[in-house]
Structure formats: structure tokens, C-alpha cells
């Protein structure tokens, strides 16, 4: 009988397998590239406009503006929302640093609040007490593909006259009470970094929303503040969506819903296979949420040893994110101490991201689960 020991011939299970995703699409991607080279419309043009329309339709948002990354999407959205130096923005320390860079590099001030233990997204109960007279907006992050609890956030924002910008960079297609993220707040930022649920073959991003006047400002900011060529209403940036990336994204977008189904299927296999292992907490999906599992993040005891054990068995894992932002060296000047945001800190100490992609098989998931079970035995 074959035994499960380190060094068996079982193929490695990577953390993410973009090669598998591209296998069936390669001809179409190469063909799109050829068309783009032959057409030589590399800046703006029909591929960009086509993708913007198709992605707005997918999200169910009034409009979409393609930009060069998720970080630029956040930056230009904050510009459109009128962020000024000294303005305070409420967000959580349990996210990727792009969320907060966009705020501080525009001169904004971060007001962190802790995350909810169950969803690992911003805890809406803690937001009201973080609002000051200088607060201008709330920036919830739909982390890992699980939406933040938006209704209380929107209710508070309305009451206090704040805007809401969704960081949807990990949550393409996720739903909150039946509404798709990206069409809930005033604006939303998406990333098409290759590893995201919808990824380009390079950097790309988009801003979505229902307010045409805000999207118009984003459109100007991505192109040097110009409404009309060489007439500049403001200064802006070089932050357009590359036409070749738009062409690639148009090939992938029709597959996104199926890929999300694949991720949700893998998550349910994991949920069953990992049930009842003491020391392992699997991710929860709130009753109002449709999770798209950009990452499948469990919380565990003895993480470093488990990660090493899985690595030895050829199973790829990741840490998203090992140190909350308020404890990063980049933010020492903010003066936060350990203990300030206990849920974020406890979560960061215990989290472990398991392999997650649409092509993962039930056998792969069973092998990962067996490897975890064998570690705790
Ligand atoms: C990926 C990501 C971003 C930034 O997107 P880029 O396209 O890499 O600039 C912002 N916020 C979150 C939560 C992300 O995961």
C-alpha cells in the first residue's frame, strides 16, 4: 500500500496555479496579443472601452474606468472623492498596505478600527466611535473575497455625511445581501494583478461606481487631468489601463463566474475535510455573504511548524498577512503598540492560506487536509 510520507511521488500542490488557468485559454490570449499588435492601438481604444463596459455589466455598476493597478484605482477614487491633506479615513489594519498607502500618500490620516473575529473584515460596531470632525470617509476591505458588512457602514456614512470607498481588490463577484461588491459604496477599487480572481497578464485595475461625475474625475486623473487632449482641468497621472491587458481581461472575464464556482466548490471540500481537527479554524461565510475565496485562510495553532510540514509534502501555503499594518515599520511613526487591535493581531498570528484556485480537485483538497490532520496527530 502506498503511504503518505515525505518524498513520495505525489505531485506538488502549488498555492496558486495560473498555468492551469491559462492552459485552455492560451490560443485566445496569443490571438488577442496578435490582434493588438496588428491594430497598434495600445493606449485607450476599443479593447479598453469594451472591457470597461463588460466589467461594469458583470459588477452591476453604473460605470467602470480601467486604470493601471488596484493601487491606482484606490488613489484615483480617493482623488475623485475629494480627499485632502489632514482628512481622516477609517479602515482596518488587517489588509494589504496598498489600501493605506493610497490614503496617506494623498496626505490623508488613517483611523484604524479592528476587524470582526468571524469575517476578518472591518467591525462595523467599532466605526462610530472612530469618527471625528475630520473624518471624511470609510474604506472597508472585502478581504480574501468575503464582503464587509456594508449596511451598517452605509447607514453610519449617510448619518455622518461620509463617503464609502470599497476596496474590492480581492472580491470580484462577491455578493453582500444579493448585491455585488463594487456596486454598493460611492466608488470601488478592483485589482487585476495576475493572482487575483480575475487577473491580467501584468498589472491592471479598475474603479466602478454609480456616480458618473465621480467616474469622470477618475477618468481624468488616470490621464494627466485632461478631459480633452492637452486641455488639463487639474494635474493627474499616467494611470491608464493598458490596451493589451484589457484585451486579455476580455478573454478571461466570461470565465470568472465559473472560476468562482470552482473556488467555492474547493472551499466546501476544505470545510468538510478539515472539520473537527482541534487547533484548526476554517473560514466562515456570514449568512448575508457570498464569499468568492480569493484566499482560503484558516487559523491554526503551531503555524510555523505546520507550514514547514506542508512544505515538506509539496503543498504550497502563504501568509496574508503576517503583520497587521499598525505594527509595520512603515507606520511606527503612528505610535501604535501591540494590543491596540487585538482581533487583527490574533488573526495575523494564526492565519495560514491554503492552496486555492478554480482547478483544484477534490483529491488535491483531500491530500492537503490529510497532511494537516497528520500534523496534529
Ligand atoms: C491587490 C490589492 C490591492 C492593490 O492592487 P494592485 O493591483 O496590486 O495595485 C489593494 N488592496 C488589496 C486588498 C489588494 O489585495
Summarised one tens digit per residue, pLDDT across range 280-337 is: 999 999 999 999 999 999 999 999 999 999 999 999 999 999 999 999 999 999 999 9
Q: Which of 221, 254, 287 is the last residue of a domain?
A: 254
Domain membership of residue 17 (yes or no) is no
Asked whether residue 236 falls in the same domain as residue 299, the answer is: no
pLDDT in tens, 152-210: 999 999 999 999 999 999 999 999 999 999 999 999 999 999 999 999 999 999 999 99
The Cα–Cα gap between 34 and 31 comes to: 5
Asked whether residue 354 carries a pLDDT value surpassing 60, the answer given is: yes
Whole-number Å distance, alpha carbon 168 to ligand 1 midpoint, is: 9
Specify whether 187 is located in the same domain as 241: yes
Other beta carbons within 10 angstroms of residue 325's beta carbon come to 25
E strand segments, the chain: 63-67, 88-91, 109-112, 135-138, 163-167, 175-176, 179-180, 187-191, 205-209, 226-228, 231-232, 280-281, 289-290, 296-300, 351-354
Q: How many domains does the chain contain in total?
A: 2
Residue 2: inside a domain, yes or no? no
Q: Check whether residue 239 and residue 297 sit in a common domain.
A: no
For residue 169, the CA-to-ligand 1 centroid distance in Å is: 5
Which residues are within 8 A (CB) of 112 and not within 5 positions of it... i.e. 6 or more apart?
90, 91, 92, 93, 130, 325, 326, 336, 340, 341
241 shares a domain with 306: no
Band of the pLDDT at 9, cuts 50, 70, 90? low
By the 8 A CB rule, do 353 and 15 touch?
yes
225, part of any domain: yes
Shared domain for 205 and 289, answered yes or no, is no
Q: How far is the CA of 228 from the centre of ligand 1 (A)?
A: 30
Residue 4 confidence class, pLDDT cut points 50, 70, 90: very low
Does 264 share its domain with 354?
yes
Residue-wise pLDDT tens digits, 112-124? 999 999 999 999 9
Name the band, by pLDDT with cuts 50, 70 and 90, for residue 3: very low
pLDDT exceeds 50 at position 51 = yes
Both 40 and 144 in a single domain?
Answer: yes
With respect to residue 11, please indicate whether it lies within any of the assigned structural domains. no
Q: Which of 342, 372, 142, 177 is nearest to 274 (CA)?
A: 372
For residue 214, what pLDDT is reported? 98
**Exposure of 11 by Cβ count < 10 A (0-12 exposed, 13-18 middle, 19+ buried)?**
exposed
pLDDT at 10: 83
Span 62-115, pLDDT tens digits: 999 999 999 999 999 999 999 999 999 999 999 999 999 999 999 999 999 999
**How many Å apart are CA 280 and CA 375, to the nearest integer?**
11
Q: At what angle do helices 303-312 and 362-376 cross, to 10 degrees?
A: 130
Which of 96, 143, 199 has the most ligand 1 atoms within 8 A of CB, as the residue to mutate? 96
Are residues 116 and 196 located together in one domain of the fold?
yes
With a cut of 60, say whether residue 5 has pLDDT above it. no
Residue range(s) defining the domain that contains residue 354: 255-376
pLDDT, position 2: 41
Nearest CA among 147, 155, 153 for reference residue 172:
147
Q: What average pLDDT does this structure show over 237-259?
A: 97
295 and 259 belong to one structural domain: yes
In-domain check, residue 107? yes
Q: Which residues does ligand 1 sit against, CB inside 6 Å? A: 69-71, 95-96, 98-99, 141, 167, 169-170, 191, 193, 203, 205
Look at residue 6 in the predicted model and tell me its pLDDT.
47
Q: Within a domain: residue 10?
A: no
206 C-alpha to ligand 1 centroid (Å): 11
* Domain presence at residue 1: no
Residue 273 and residue 249 share a domain: no
Domain boundary among 254, 285, 305: 254
Mean pLDDT of 356-375: 97
Same domain, 190 and 262: no
CB atoms within 10 A of CB 129: 8
**Domain stops at, among 225, 254, 283:** 254
Nearest C-alpha to atom 7 of ligand 1 is from which residue? 70
Looking at the structure, tell me whether residues 236 and 127 fall in a common domain: yes
7 band by pLDDT with thresholds 50, 70 and 90? very low
Which phi and psi (to 5°) does residue 301 adopt?
A: -90, 155
Whole-number Å distance between alpha carbons of 24 and 4: 31
Cβ pair 140, 122 in contact under 8 A: yes
CATH number of the domain that residue 161 is part of: 3.40.640.10
Q: Report the atom number in ligand 1 closest to the C-alpha of 142.
A: 13
**Cα within 13 Å of Cα(187), Cβ side:** 28
pLDDT in tens, 257-271: 999 999 999 999 999
Span 359-374, average pLDDT: 97
| Nearest-5° Cα angle at 255, 249 to 292 | 100
Give the CATH number, domain containing residue 335. 3.90.1150.10
Within a domain: residue 80?
A: yes
Amino acid at each position: 500500500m502506498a503511504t503518505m510520507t515525505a518524498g513520495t511521488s505525489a505531485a506538488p500542490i502549488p498555492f496558486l496555479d495560473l498555468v492551469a488557468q491559462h492552459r485552455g485559454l492560451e490560443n485566445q490570449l496569443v490571438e488577442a496579443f496578435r490582434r493588438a499588435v496588428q491594430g497598434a492601438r495600445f493606449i485607450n481604444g476599443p479593447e479598453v472601452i469594451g472591457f470597461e463596459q463588460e466589467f461594469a455589466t458583470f459588477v452591476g455598476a453604473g460605470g467602470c474606468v480601467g486604470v493601471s493597478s488596484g493601487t491606482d484605482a484606490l488613489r484615483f477614487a480617493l482623488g475623485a472623492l475629494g480627499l485632502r491633506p489632514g482628512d481622516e479615513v477609517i479602515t482596518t489594519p488587517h489588509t494589504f498596505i496598498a489600501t493605506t498607502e493610497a490614503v496617506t500618500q494623498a496626505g490623508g490620516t488613517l483611523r484604524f478600527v479592528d476587524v470582526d473575529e468571524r469575517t476578518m473584515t472591518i467591525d462595523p460596531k467599532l466605526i462610530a466611535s472612530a469618527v471625528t470632525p475630520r473624518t471624511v470617509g470609510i474604506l472597508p476591505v472585502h478581504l480574501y473575497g468575503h464582503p464587509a458588512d456594508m449596511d451598517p457602514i452605509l447607514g453610519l456614512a449617510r448619518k455622518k455625511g461620509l463617503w464609502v470607498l470599497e476596496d474590492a481588490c480581492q472580491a470580484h463577484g462577491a455578493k453582500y445581501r444579493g448585491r455585488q461588491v463594487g456596486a454598493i459604496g460611492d466608488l470601488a477599487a478592483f485589482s487585476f494583478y495576475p493572482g487575483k480572481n480575475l487577473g491580467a497578464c501584468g498589472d491592471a485595475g479598475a474603479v466602478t461606481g454609480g456616480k458618473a461625475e465621480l467616474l469622470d474625475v477618475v477618468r481624468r486623473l488616470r490621464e494627466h487631468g485632461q478631459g480633452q487632449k492637452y486641455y488639463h482641468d487639474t494635474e493627474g497621472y499616467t494611470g491608464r489601463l493598458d490596451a493589451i491587458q484589457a484585451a486579455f481581461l476580455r478573454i478571461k472575464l466570461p470565465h470568472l463566474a465559473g472560476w468562482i464556482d470552482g473556488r467555492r466548490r474547493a472551499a466546501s471540500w476544505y470545510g468538510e475535510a478539515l472539520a473537527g481537527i482541534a487547533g484548526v479554524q476554517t473560514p466562515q461565510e456570514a449568512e448575508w455573504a457570498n464569499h468568492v475565496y480569493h484566499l482560503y485562510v484558516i487559523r491554526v495553532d503551531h503555524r510555523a511548524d505546520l507550514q514547514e510540514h506542508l512544505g515538506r509534502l509539496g503543498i504550497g501555503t502563504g501568509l496574508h498577512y503576517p503583520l497587521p499594518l499598525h505594527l509595520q515599520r512603515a507606520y511606527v511613526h503612528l505610535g501604535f503598540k501591540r494590543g491596540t487591535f487585538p482581533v487583527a493581531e490574533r488573526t495575523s498570528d494564526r492565519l495560514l492560506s491554503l492552496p486555492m484556485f478554480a482547478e483544484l480537485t477534490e483529491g488535491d483538497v483531500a491530500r492537503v487536509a490529510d497532511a494537516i490532520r497528520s500534523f496534529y496527530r
